[in-house]
């Protein structure tokens, strides 16, 4: 953490009735009490997602999906963040962030907050969402409610689909407790009696077959109207005795273990791909970090499971309902109720591109800025497709972080290579939870003739760049795509991200140099327009913040990012606030900076937007005393992005496009219904329109502005 001296503080104004101003209390921007804890802020974001399940402005099925997304987010939080804290303690490597909290203290506070939030989640599910869905004719049919016809159908389904693949495991000296897969659905079963071999163990484990759906739709012919769904767990519970013939099943209870899923790779690997393949095998069986158990499970069985997994009461979550609510996302595909989901829309395509048969002609006239998902991702795909087929195109280079299994982007690269073009793909194998898919992707590309490299060991390649080299009028011309998101068409329909298509000579030269650094070796090359991590991005952002501080009350800063945890950048923002700069931070998730603290950050406002689409754009805007500068980036305000990754920030210096970006930011700052304001105590308060005030939702504004919907 930087320990630069505190800048001069803005004098405290005179209060009414006073002749002299209050004395200025020097507040050190580096002091630990001036920061929120990263992990606790992360939990706050997950909680804001959960709260969407109560917002009647969202369609009912999408409210259920928000409840499921909360579960998925919490899974990853335990797999990565909690697991990391436990690893620190296990190996005596405790470290603290700028807030100063120790891992043991933090784990206790995480447990307290997570238990509260998960309890509220099940309360929302059981007492709000399920009753509202029942009113709409969507029913989760419980065992005790089965009609004879439904029970008969379940019997056949169990015999035909479940029994042939389920594998019960009795526990005795020759059958030790099985090694269960991370986040798998399992049952602990109490038994009475002896089996065919005379064994009397009293206990068994039944892993639910991973090949079977967790939620099944009952046929209409055995129901009295409506949409009727049944849980796989209910069917296994109902017929558990058939898994242990001749024995009495005294109880059957769901549980699920969450394991450490982070991958640890050394920096001096000889073969990153081979090492990663080995690590992926261990991810499914890492150390346990959380145990979820049905709340009707007897205490002695709960304690037995905790001992088996080496966990304590702090790690135990007893839930009233299914132990994996993420699987409820299947509802949207099992019921046909479009009236209970968001209406569809067609992403817009700017006229500049729509009216040009050859996309390169459009880009030469003016750079193109796209905001997904309001504007289509198809032009980015067409950019590559046309390049693959264009005889004037000589070479294509691209970074790939996440692409999806069936990617048109990948098909275009393979097509280009087959046509004899020089195609290079820089694949980041360590994109979390996409590692296996990226290994397969690398193999496919190599088989088609694409040159594949894995970036730089020790620095994830997170930058989103495409470079196309085209011969025009006897000279080589470079075209680039730079983005804030991934080259994943599915994500482009769900995440907000910017794409810039340009043939600016300086940008093209910069991107070419970055690819040289990634694929070759040598000293860092001089870059003209881009800021790039790990070399210049961190330093330049802080310099620009400090420049605004130099303008005092004439300074202006707007950041729209996903997270802010970097101590140096936060201290720079504190200094700017102390100098009188107006600072608006639109931060979707984690924010360790404390806004609104007198003498430190009273000029800083932090808001989080949570809505239909996942906010993912990163924009850094500086007023620059009437000569505004705006940068879009793949990087958040985090140490891992600014120091430990390969990232880029690119300027949007076309006046028309820069004005459009400002309009977009203004829409987010005007949001009064999907925005949450961070308070000095770390809580968030949702904004609501005042009396007589028009309701403004930024995502709706952008949807209407760009698509007319």
- Residue positions forming the annotated binding site: 73, 402, 432, 495, 588, 616
C-alpha 250/C-alpha 294 separation (Å) is: 15
Q: Could you tell me which residues are annotated as the binding site for Mg(2+)?
A: 402, 432
Q: What CA–CA distances, in Å, run from 17 to 10, 14, 297, 407, 677?
A: 21, 8, 66, 68, 32
- Answer whether 69's CB lies under 8 Å from 249's CB: no
Residue list for the binding site for ATP = 73, 495, 588, 616
Largest CA distance in the chain: 95
- Dihedral angle of Cα 610, 615, 618, 619, to the nearest 10 degrees: -60
Listed residue (700, 698, 672) closest to 686, CA to CA: 672
Q: How many CA atoms lie within 13 A of 301 on its CB side?
A: 24
Structure tokens at 34: 């001036």
Would you mind telling me the total number of residues written for the chain in this entry?
Answer: 709
In sequence order, what are the residues at sequence separation of 6 or more whose Cβ sits closer than 8 angstroms to the Cβ of residue 300?
Answer: none
Half-sphere exposure of 556 (CA within 13 A, CB side): 12
Contact between 363 and 388 under an 8 Å Cβ cutoff? The reply is no
Residue pair 224/230 in contact (Cβ under 8 Å)? The answer is no
Residue 462 known to be catalytic: yes
CA–CA gap between residue 646 and residue 650 (Å, rounded) = 13
Residues 6+ away with beta carbon under 8 Å from 356: 362
Which residue among 237, 372, 462, 532 is the active-site one?
A: 462
Task: Quote the CA–CA distance of 343 and 334 in Å, as a whole number.
Answer: 17
The residue to which tokens 């310099």 are assigned = 543
Segment (H or E) for 121: helix 103-124
The pair of three-digit structure tokens given for residue 357, joined into one six-digit string: 């048969």
HEC sequence for 305-365: HHHHHCCCHHHEEEECCCCCHHHHHHHHHHCCCHHHCCCCCCCECCHHHHCCCCHHHHHHH
Instruction: In whole angstroms, give the CA distance from residue 11 to residue 25.
Output: 10
Distance CA 584, CA 638 (A): 17
Closest CA to 394 of 468, 449, 450: 468
Written as six digits, the tokens of 360 are 């390169």
d(CA 134, CA 141) in angstroms, rounded, equals 10
How many helices, marked H, and strands, marked E, lie in the chain?
21, 27
Structure tokens at 220: 């209409």
Enumerate residues 6+ apart whose C-beta is below 8 A from 431: 401, 402, 438, 460
DSSP 8-state class, residue 627:
S
The H or E element containing residue 608 is strand 604-609
Q: How many CB atoms lie within 10 A of CB 116?
A: 12
- Tell me how far CA of residue 407 lies from CA of 153, 294, 393, 413, 506, in angstroms: 40, 40, 21, 10, 30
Whole-angstrom Cα distance, residue 93 to residue 95?
Answer: 6
Q: Residue 306 in contact with residue 299, Cβ under 8 Å?
A: no
Query: Which residues are known catalytic residues?
Result: 462
């Amino acid at each position: 953490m930087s320990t630069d001296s505190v800048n001069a503080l803005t004098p405290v104004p005179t209060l009414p009735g006073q002749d002299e101003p209050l004395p200025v209390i020097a507040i050190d921007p580096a002091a630990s009490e001036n920061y929120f804890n990263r992990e606790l802020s992360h939990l706050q974001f997950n909680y804001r997602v959960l709260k969407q399940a109560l917002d009647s402005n969202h369609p009912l099925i999408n409210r259920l999906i928000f409840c499921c997304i909360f579960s998925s987010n919490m899974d990853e939080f335990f797999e990565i963040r909690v697991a990391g804290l436990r690893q620190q303690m296990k190996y005596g490597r405790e470290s603290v962030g700028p807030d100063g909290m120790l891992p043991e203290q933090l784990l206790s506070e995480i447990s307290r907050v997570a238990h509260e939030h998960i309890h509220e989640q099940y309360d929302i599910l059981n007492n709000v969402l399920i009753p509202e869905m029942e009113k709409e004719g969507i029913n989760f049919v419980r065992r005790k409610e089965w009609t004879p016809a439904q029970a008969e159908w379940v019997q056949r389904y169990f015999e035909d689909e479940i029994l042939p693949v389920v594998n019960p495991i009795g526990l005795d000296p020759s059958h030790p407790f099985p090694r269960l897969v991370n986040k798998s659905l399992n049952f602990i079963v109490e038994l009475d009696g002896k089996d065919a071999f005379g064994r009397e163990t009293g206990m068994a484990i039944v892993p639910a077959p991973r090949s079977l759906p967790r939620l099944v739709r009952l046929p209409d012919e055995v129901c009295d109207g409506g949409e009727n769904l049944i849980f796989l767990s209910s069917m296994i519970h109902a017929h558990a005795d058939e898994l242990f013939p001749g024995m009495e099943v005294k109880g059957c209870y769901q549980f699920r273990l969450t394991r450490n899923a982070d991958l640890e790779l050394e920096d001096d690997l000889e073969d990153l791909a081979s090492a990663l393949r080995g690590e992926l095998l261990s991810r499914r069986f890492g150390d346990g970090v959380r145990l979820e158990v049905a709340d009707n499970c007897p205490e002695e069985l709960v304690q037995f499971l905790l001992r088996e997994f080496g966990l304590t009461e702090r790690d135990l979550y007893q839930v009233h309902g299914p132990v994996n609510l993420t699987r409820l996302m299947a509802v949207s595909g099992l019921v046909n109720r479009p009236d209970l989901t968001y209406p569809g829309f067609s992403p817009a395509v700017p006229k500049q591109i729509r009216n040009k048969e050859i996309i390169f002609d459009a880009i030469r006239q003016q750079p193109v800025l796209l905001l997904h998902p309001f504007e289509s991702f198809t032009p980015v795909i067409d950019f590559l497709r046309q390049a693959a087929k264009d005889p004037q195109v000589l070479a294509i280079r691209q970074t790939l972080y996440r692409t999806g299994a069936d990617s048109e982007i990948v098909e275009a690269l393979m097509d280009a290579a087959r046509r004899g073009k020089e195609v290079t793909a820089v694949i980041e194998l360590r994109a979390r939870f996409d590692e296996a898919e990226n290994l397969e992707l690398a193999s496919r590309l190599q088989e088609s003739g694409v040159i594949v490299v894995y970036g730089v060991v020790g620095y994830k390649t997170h930058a989103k760049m495409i470079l196309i080299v085209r011969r025009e009028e006897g000279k080589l011309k470079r075209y680039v795509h730079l983005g804030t998101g991934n080259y994943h068409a599915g994500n482009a329909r769900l995440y907000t991200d910017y794409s810039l298509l340009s043939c600016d000579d300086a940008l093209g030269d910069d991107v070419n140099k970055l690819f040289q650094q990634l694929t070759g070796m040598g000293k860092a090359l001089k870059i003209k327009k881009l800021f790039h991590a790990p070399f210049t991005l961190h330093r330049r952002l802080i310099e620009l913040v400090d420049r605004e501080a130099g303008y005092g009350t004439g300074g202006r800063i707007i950041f729209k990012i996903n997270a802010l945890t970097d101590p140096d950048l936060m201290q720079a923002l504190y200094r700017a606030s102390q100098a009188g700069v107006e600072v608006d931070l639109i931060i979707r998730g984690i924010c360790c900076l404390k806004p609104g603290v007198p003498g430190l950050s009273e000029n800083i406002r932090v808001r989080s937007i949570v809505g239909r689409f996942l906010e993912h754009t990163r924009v850094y805007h500086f007023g620059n005393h009437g000569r505004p500068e705006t940068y879009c980036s793949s990087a958040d305000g985090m140490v891992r992005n600014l120091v430990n990754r390969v990232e880029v920030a690119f300027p949007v210096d076309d006046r028309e496009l820069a004005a459009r970006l400002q309009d977009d930011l203004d829409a987010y700052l005007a949001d009064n219904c999907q925005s949450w304001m961070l308070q000095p105590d770390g809580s968030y308060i949702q904004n609501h329109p005042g009396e007589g005030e028009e309701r403004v939702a930024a995502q709706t504004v952008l949807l209407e502005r760009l698509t007319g919907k």
